[in-house]
């Protein structure tokens, strides 16, 4: 029985059967008839819930976009830091080679200086 006038009963048995079959033949009972006001009230509640879910989804999407922008900025900065670290690494490697070369030749330099000092001292 379907009537459009307010306060009239709507035949919801087809809807109930469909819901029961989707839930797996659920063991709960649903009313077969609801008034138009009850139906509209339930639809109103569902519409508000859907709007709330949409609002939450929009908020999450906005936060995701902001996070993506923040991550992109951090990645750009990290790339710059990595470039600077690579540059410092190359400089350090050059300095390390210079110090190692100096350490290897230090004994010879000291020996040359000492021989020169002895020659000057003995020559006078």
- Distance, CA of 122 to CA of 23 (rounded, Å): 111
Q: What is the 3-state secondary structure (H, E, C) of 83-114?
A: HHHHHHHHHHHHHHHHHHHHHHHHHHHHHHHH
Q: What is the pLDDT of residues 30-42, one digit of tens each?
A: 656 889 999 999 9
- The 3-state secondary structure of 61-73 reads HHHHHHHHHHHHH
pTM for this model (two decimals)? 0.45
pLDDT value at residue 124: 62
**Residues in CB range of 16: below 8 A, 6 or more apart:** 30, 31, 32
Whether the predicted pLDDT of 1 surpasses 80: no
pLDDT in tens, 13-35: 444 444 544 555 555 566 568 89
């Amino acid at each position: 029985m379907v009537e459009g006038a307010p306060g009239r009963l709507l035949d919801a048995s087809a809807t109930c059967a469909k819901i029961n079959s989707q839930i797996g033949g659920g063991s709960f009972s649903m009313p077969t008839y609801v008034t138009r006001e009850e139906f509209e009230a339930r639809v109103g509640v569902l519409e508000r819930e859907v709007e709330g879910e949409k609002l939450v989804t929009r908020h999450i999407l906005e936060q995701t976009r902001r996070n993506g922008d923040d991550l992109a900025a951090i990645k750009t900065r990290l790339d710059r830091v990595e470039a600077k670290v690579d540059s410092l690494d190359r400089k350090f490697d050059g300095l390390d080679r210079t110090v190692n070369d100096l350490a290897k030749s230090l004994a010879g330099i000291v020996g040359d200086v000492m021989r020169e000092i002895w020659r000057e001292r003995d020559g006078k």
